[in-house]
């Protein structure tokens, strides 16, 4: 009998190992850490939601193509148009239960089609809530959408709830929601928004509490703002990751801090160039220095709805302009996997998966 129990025990362990080893979809090998849920919607989905809700008058253009023209940004220094485009379509999504879950599920399919095996999407639930839909219900809907997408498309999806620099009154709630739903798909907290807006005490208190509750942190810093914002993200907010971080190269002490601490930089090549946050000359992009100095960074899309980009296009840019080899691209993918906010066991499994399937670029 004891021998039978031992055999059964080994069998269970083997089955458990097999399940764990196959929990990431075979063949997919990219990891994305920096994309915004409400900036990666499908334009046709927004269009269809507007039709369903009788809100077509809120959208510019008479056709989907004309509407899309208003959302796409190109060239360099088009930050004003980029920010305005959110004002155009967010009212259509706001408060729509079906639509919010739909964009979350569709994002899983889109990332799968882009070769991603895992991604973390950032959003602020306040921007999707209204008088009839609470911020907590928004989080629940996104979690449900990601779970459905993961089941359908085999892409593991997690979310990061974001505090907004000019909305200090939302900070406390973001921490509470992150803590409450950490086992339901929310893996971290962030700060985003206009870097010219000085942070109020609420943000420092909020992040302090997040640290005490062991909630992972990624801070948008050094995108359009100075290197000192990157320093604050690392030293004050104890960020494990920094969103963008390009301007850290403008201060030797801050750049040394980035290298010394190994903080992960979420680089978004197309976004940084189009929005004028770096030189329009690709040969002067800070990521060239990151690659040369073996800085810990990954390649990300930011907002595919607006930039019409993909993880593939970002890797192509890195190879064409940043001097990155195929091996460097694989390294960046591994860095991304290592910087995820997954539990340690899942993270190690993901890293091994990415290494195994990143045989071609």
Parts of the chain with a pLDDT under 50 = 1-22
pTM of this prediction exceeds 0.85: yes
Measured CA to CA, the distance from residue 10 to residue 6 in angstroms comes to: 6
Those residues whose C-beta lies under 8 Å from the C-beta of residue 290, and which sit 6 or more positions away, are 265, 267, 297
Assigned domain for 52 exists: yes
Instruction: Sort residue 314 into left (φ over 0), alpha (ψ -120 to 50) or beta.
Output: alpha
Is 354:117 a contact under the CB 8 Å cutoff? yes
Exposed e or buried b per residue across 239-255, where buried means at least 16 C-beta atoms within 10 angstroms of its C-beta: bbbbbbbbbbbebeebb
Any catalytic annotation for residue 327? no
pLDDT computed for residue 13 by the predictor: 42
Is 259:289 a contact under the CB 8 Å cutoff? no
Assigned domain for 119 exists: yes
Give the closest residue to 248 by CA, choosing from 260, 258, 240, 234: 258
pLDDT computed for residue 85 by the predictor: 87
Could you report the per-residue pLDDT of 299-309, keeping only the tens digit for each? 999 999 999 99
Q: For 223, list phi and psi in degrees, rounded to 5.
A: -80, -65
| Residue 25 CB neighbours (<10 A) | 18
Assigned domain for 1 exists: no
Q: Which domain holds residue 161?
A: 30-357
Give the closest residue to 128 by CA, choosing from 221, 49, 219: 49
Q: Where are the beta strands (DSSP E) in 87-185?
A: 116-123, 156-164
pLDDT computed for residue 90 by the predictor: 96
- Tell me the three state secondary structure of residue 198: coil
Assigned domain for 16 exists: no
Please enumerate, as own/partner, the contacts of 309-313 that have beta carbons within 8 Å and a separation of 24 or more.
309/270, 309/271, 310/114, 311/30, 311/32, 311/114, 311/115, 311/116, 312/114, 312/115, 313/270
Assigned domain for 10 exists: no
Assigned domain for 244 exists: yes
Domain of 291: which CATH number? Answer: 3.20.20.140
Measured CA to CA, the distance from residue 218 to residue 189 in angstroms comes to: 7
Could you report the per-residue pLDDT of 204-224, keeping only the tens digit for each? 999 999 999 999 999 999 999
Assigned domain for 291 exists: yes
pLDDT computed for residue 26 by the predictor: 86
Assigned domain for 181 exists: yes
Candidates 102, 223, 314, 315; catalytic one: 223
Count the domains in the chain.
1
């Amino acid at each position: 009998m004891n021998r039978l129990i031992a055999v059964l025990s080994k069998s269970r362990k083997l089955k458990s190992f097999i399940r764990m080893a196959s929990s990431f979809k075979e063949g997919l090998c990219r990891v994305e850490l920096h994309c915004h849920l409400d900036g990666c919607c499908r334009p046709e989905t927004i269009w269809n939601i507007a039709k369903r809700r009788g809100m077509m008058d809120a959208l510019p253009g008479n056709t989907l193509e004309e509407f899309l023209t208003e959302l796409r940004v190109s060239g360099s220094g088009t930050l004003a148009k980029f920010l305005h485009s959110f004002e155009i379509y967010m009212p259509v999504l706001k408060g729509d239960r079906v639509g919010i879950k739909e964009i979350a599920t569709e994002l899983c399919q889109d990332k799968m089609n882009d070769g991603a095996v895992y991604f973390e999407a950032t959003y602020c639930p306040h921007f999707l809530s209204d008088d009839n839909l609470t911020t907590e219900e928004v989080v629940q809907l996104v979690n449900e959408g990601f779970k459905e997408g993961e089941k359908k498309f085999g892409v593991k999806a997690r979310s990061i709830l974001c505090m907004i620099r000019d909305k200090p009154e939302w900070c406390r709630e973001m921490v509470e929601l992150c803590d409450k739903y950490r086992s339901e798909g929310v893996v971290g907290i962030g700060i985003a928004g206009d870097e010219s807006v000085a942070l109020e005490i609420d943000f420092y208190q909020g992040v302090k509490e997040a640290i005490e509750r062991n909630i992972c942190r990624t801070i948008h810093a050094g995108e359009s703002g100075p290197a000192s914002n990157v320093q604050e993200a690392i030293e004050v907010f104890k960020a494990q990751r920094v969103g963008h971080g390009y301007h850290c190269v403008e201060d030797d002490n801050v750049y040394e801090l980035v290298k010394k601490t190994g903080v992960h930089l979420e680089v978004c090549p197309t976004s940084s160039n189009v929005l004028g946050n770096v030189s329009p000359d690709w040969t002067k992009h800070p990521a060239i220095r990151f690659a040369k100095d073996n800085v810990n960074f990954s390649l990300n899309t930011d907002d595919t709805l607006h930039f019409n980009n993909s993880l593939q296009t970002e890797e192509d840019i890195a190879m064409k302009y940043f001097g990155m080899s195929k091996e460097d691209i694989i390294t960046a993918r591994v860095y991304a996997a290592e910087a995820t906010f997954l539990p340690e066991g899942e993270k190690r499994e993901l890293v091994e998966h990415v290494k195994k399937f990143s045989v071609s670029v």
